[in-house]
Structure formats: C-alpha cells, structure tokens
Amino acid sequence: MNYKSYGDLSEDISASLFRVHGKGYDLVVGIPRSGMIPANMIALGLHIDAMGLPDFIANQALKTRMGRKSGGQPIAAWDAKKILLVDDSVTTGRTMQSALEAIPADCFCNIDTLAIYVEPEGEQHVDMFFYSLKSPRAFQWNLFTPSILSQACVDIDGVLCVDPTAQQNDDGEEYLEFLNNAKPLFLPYGQIGCLVTNRLEKYRSQTDMWLKQQSIAYKRLVMLDLPSKEERQRRGVHSTHKGLFYKNSDYTFFIESDIKQASTIARISGKAVYCCEDNRVYTATNSASIKKGRNGYANRLFLNIKQKIVSGFLHPVKGYLR
C-alpha cells in the first residue's frame, strides 16, 4: 500500500518545487476538492495567487494580486498570462480533461497541467507530475471518502466516535449512556464496507441506533460475540477478532484507532491497516516496528481533538476528513 499523509504531501511538493520555479506562472488553479491543497502549497512557494477552478472559470478577481514582477500584475483570473492547473493525483486523466474542457473558449491563458502523484499509466495525461505512485494507494485527505470506505473495514471507538473513559467502560449503566450519546469524532462521507468493532454483540441495538443518528451508512456490522467485558479481557482477543475477520474477507483496507491493534491486525491479516492514533499505515512487513514514543505531531493533534470534543470545546463536523 502506497500511503501519503498531509506531511508527505508537503515534503514532496517542497522537494519538487524547483521544477516549476522560473516558468513564469502568474496563477495556480486547483481542481476541487483535493487539488486545492497542493495548489495552495505551490502558490505559497512561488509567491503567486491561487484560486479554485470554479472561480477561475468565472474570471473572478484575484485577492492578493501577487505574481508578475514586470508588465503589470494580473487583476482578474484571465489577466494571468500563464496558469498552472493542479490536481493531487491523476489515474485515467478524465478529471483533468474535464477541467480543461470546462474553461471557456474565450479564455486565452496559457495553461500547463500538473499532478503531484500519477499512476504510471497516467503520466501522459498531464504536462508535469512530481511522483509516479502505483496502486494500491491511499491519501490521508481522502481516507473517509466513498472510494476508500466502500472497500474498507472501519473500527468504531476511537475512529467514528471518541473512546469511552475508564469510568464509562463499566459494562453497565455508564457504558449504556456512552453508547447512546457517544461524541462523534471522524464521520465518513459515503457507505462503509464493514464496521468491525470489539463492542459486544449484546450492544448491537444501541450501536445501530447511534450509527443511524449520525447518518453513517454501512453494509455490515461485525461485533464480538462474548457475554461480558471481563470475558473479553480474559481472552484478550481484541486484535485477533479484527485481524482474522479482515484476513478472511475481501476488504482491502482497515481503519483502526489503536497503534498496537493496528500493528497486530496488519501482521495477522497480511493487509494494510491505517491507524488514526499515529497517522501511519501498517503492513505485514512493518507491523513489528511500532513507534516507541507517542509524542509525534500527528498523535498530539489527534489526542488534542479528542480531548476538546470530550470537554465540549469543539463541535465535530461531519466529513471532517473528507
């Protein structure tokens, strides 16, 4: 699995920015939505304006009027002489071609196309690309979208909602209160292939009700068929339960909340597992190399979000990671 995080994207653009320096671009145009992220990064590096494709098509005014050092600065989008049209990735080239076709015929700007990542067979569909990246691949900014989720197993606690506290996790009244009113965390866009959780089977009705309340669509819900929390802890089957199901399924990706479980699931299944806690993809080959510390930026950010949601300072937004 070739995986790219926001950090990877930033580093890859920084390392390749020299390829677009000195080419005389006045404006960077991003193809919504994923193309907007790299478009803004590139524009900042080139010290020129950026805008989305719909604003460019409408010939909107530039907000900062940065860019051309001589011959007058562009005021509106079509005043720019040379445009860099950017998307995050290209496979078949259809999206890029549709973007070009949507630009009115009376726009006479010189337009170059750029993709940060391309499939090897898609290289001919753009004027420039930074990296050739084979499938299967996944991007952090697109993890919770239909193309990934439909083929994925997804954990619930720590992914779709915050984990229960020690006090809430009593397998009794406190836990029932948690199940009914769990704080959403990363809500998806599109139908999930399969929810795989260590919640006990006896809590299926409460789990299903909460999922419906949050408008989370899924094809299947796999729970742990044990009588109690104590029996679950005694058997220690948290990772095994998930790993064996994933191994014997046709699903190609797993989104897990816990570092140790993600590592073990990857080792058992032999498939890729993304961990929200440290923003890392684990595979069978790297599952043993769990990071010793948990003080990385991604983990600090993740824990900060969880703490703010629990304390009521942050209202979760559906599609936060779209």
Whether 99 is in a domain gets the answer yes
pLDDT higher for 290 or 136?
Answer: 136
Whether 316 is in a domain gets the answer no
What does the pLDDT look like over 160-212, one tens digit per residue? 999 999 999 999 999 999 999 999 999 999 999 999 999 999 999 999 999 99
pLDDT confidence tier of residue 284, bands split at 50, 70 and 90 = confident
CATH number at residue 27: 3.40.50.2020
Tell me how far the alpha carbon of residue 233 is from its chain's centroid.
Answer: 32
What does the pLDDT look like over 42-89, one tens digit per residue? 999 999 999 999 999 999 998 875 655 445 566 899 999 999 999 999
Domain that holds residue 159: 146-311
284 and 184 within one domain: yes
Cis peptide, bond prior to residue 19, ω within 30 of zero: no
Is 8 within 8 Å of 16 (Cβ atoms)?
no
- Give the strand order in the sheet containing 128-132: 49-52, 27-30, 82-90, 110-118, 128-132
Q: Which residues contact 255 (CB under 8 A, 6 or more apart)?
A: 143, 152, 153, 154, 155, 159, 273, 274, 276
What pTM was estimated for this model as a whole?
0.78
Q: Residue 295: what pLDDT?
A: 45
Cα angle for residues 81, 84, 87 (degrees, 5° grid): 155
Q: Residue 135: what pLDDT?
A: 85
| pLDDT > 70 in the chain, percent | 86
Q: How far apart are CA 176 and CA 5, in angstroms?
A: 36
Q: How far apart are CA 228 and CA 234, in angstroms?
A: 10
Number of domains in the chain: 2
Q: Residue 319: what pLDDT?
A: 41
Cis peptide, bond prior to residue 188, ω within 30 of zero: no
- A 10 A CB-CB count for 87 gives 26
Provide the token pair at 176: 């029932």
Whether 320 is in a domain gets the answer no
301 and 159 within one domain: yes
210 and 117 within one domain: no
124 and 172 within one domain: no
